[in-house]
Amino acid sequence: MPELKHSDSTARHRVRAAPIAALLRWFDSSVQPAHTGDPDAIDWLRVLPFIGLHLACLGVIWVGVSWFAVAVAAALYALRMFAITGFYHRYFSHRAFKTSRPVQFLFAALGAMSVQRGPLWWAAHHRHHHRNSDQASDLHSPVQHGFLRAHMGWFLSRGAFATDTQAIADLAKFPELRLIDRFDVLLPVLLAASLFLLGGWLEQAAPGLQTSGPQLLIWGFFISTVVLFHATVTINSLAHQIGSRRFDTRDNSRNNWWLALLTFGEGWHNNHHHFPGSARQGFRWWEFDLTYYALKLMTWVGLVWDLKPVPAGLKRSGGN
């Protein structure tokens, strides 16, 4: 009986500790979960900030709109989308080019401002996706788990929270990347605070812009971030369901031109799954790939180099 009482006491302690651990992991992703529940279940307490991110967009009703606020939102969408597509995806996940350590850090920080977790977490999950694309163990396969799960349900589940360090040993050797990954919420908070302070200053210094702290916060951070997030994850959900298949890959990846426009070239997803190692995903001249064009510009000033091309034989092996 004493052993049973001890077991009951331990179980009660774990129940009490679970909410505390979930709250701590809002700020420090290294905190271990205090539960061993279903890894596919949504951890509702931990994802409250994600829900709040969406609800905050309703603040536009009170703060209104100005051309300046919309321009800032668009600029931050573009900058952070490139950080995700060019660096989180093509660099950290696939090592499709080379760059210096300072540039690596800069774009890791910009990517973290997208509220899509840290570069190590992102790359580890993406590498897992390519190893298991559209198989049962692919966490965001719409073929296996349906649209909503592929679009964002997996992202909010208990089992997807941790970073698989074995999958990113080449990146984990950089302490600055580990730091960004551990405290991934810090940089988005700093971005939000900076926008609020900038808007407040501009309200007094440049009233002709007709902006304010709350307005720049809502448009520049909340609306821009939510649109950025949902545009990015369409590649998980829609680009495995809607579009054409030039290459007979082992998954259901598709090429979709309008997703390519939204995501700066990521919509050429069947091309990408045919040869993931290329820095260019638009294989044909007419396949608009803004991320690749930006990376090419960066090679001209020496910020990146050794962009991996698509081997000629692979590029020609598809149909249209």
Query: pLDDT tens across 168-181, in order?
Result: 999 999 999 999 99
Q: Are 155 and 215 found together in one domain?
A: yes
Q: Where are the beta strands (DSSP E) in the chain?
A: 98-99, 304-305
Q: Where residue 43 falls among pLDDT bands split at 50, 70, 90?
A: confident
| Share of residues in the chain with pLDDT > 90 (%) | 77
- pLDDT for 126 beyond 60: yes
Q: Are 133 and 227 found together in one domain?
A: yes
More confident residue, 108 or 156: 108
Mean pLDDT of the chain: 90
For the segment 201-213, the average pLDDT, to the nearest whole number, is 97
Percentages helix, strand, coil for the chain (3-state, rounded to 5) are 60, 5, 35
Q: Which residues contact 262 (CB under 8 A, 6 or more apart)?
A: 231, 234
For the segment 174-200, the average pLDDT, to the nearest whole number, is 97
Q: Which domain holds residue 23?
A: 1-36
Q: Where residue 42 falls among pLDDT bands split at 50, 70, 90?
A: confident
Q: Are 141 and 239 found together in one domain?
A: yes
| Share of residues in the chain with pLDDT > 70 (%) | 90
Number of other residues whose CB lies within 10 A of the CB of residue 33: 19
Q: Where residue 5 falls among pLDDT bands split at 50, 70, 90?
A: very low
Check residue 50 and give its pLDDT: 92
For the segment 302-318, the average pLDDT, to the nearest whole number, is 83
Q: Which residues contact 27 (CB under 8 A, 6 or more apart)?
A: 183, 185, 186
Evaluated on CA atoms 59, 64, 65, 68, the torsion sign reads negative
Check residue 1 and give its pLDDT: 44
More confident residue, 11 or 276: 276
Q: Taking a C-beta distance cutoff of 8 angstroms, is the pair 130, 276 a contact?
A: yes
Residue pLDDT, tens place only, 53-78? 999 999 999 999 999 999 999 999 99
Q: Are 64 and 211 found together in one domain?
A: yes
Total domains, the chain: 2
Dist. CA 118–CA 259, nearest whole Å: 24
Q: Where residue 320 falls among pLDDT bands split at 50, 70, 90?
A: low
Q: Which residues contact 170 (CB under 8 A, 6 or more apart)?
A: 95
Dist. CA 172–CA 164, nearest whole Å: 10
Q: Are 158 and 256 found together in one domain?
A: yes
Q: Are 78 and 112 found together in one domain?
A: yes
Q: Are 159 and 225 found together in one domain?
A: yes
- pLDDT for 102 beyond 80: yes
Q: Where residue 20 falls among pLDDT bands split at 50, 70, 90?
A: confident
Q: Are 70 and 142 found together in one domain?
A: yes
Q: Are 80 and 214 found together in one domain?
A: yes
Of 125, 119, 85, give the one whose Cα is nearest residue 105. 119
For the segment 89-115, the average pLDDT, to the nearest whole number, is 98
Q: Are 130 and 25 found together in one domain?
A: no
Q: Are 275 and 133 found together in one domain?
A: yes
Q: Are 203 and 62 found together in one domain?
A: yes
Q: What are phi and psi of 286, to 5 degrees?
A: -90, 0
Does the model's pTM come out above 0.75?
yes
Q: Taking a C-beta distance cutoff of 8 angstroms, is the pair 134, 251 a contact?
A: yes
More confident residue, 17 or 201: 201
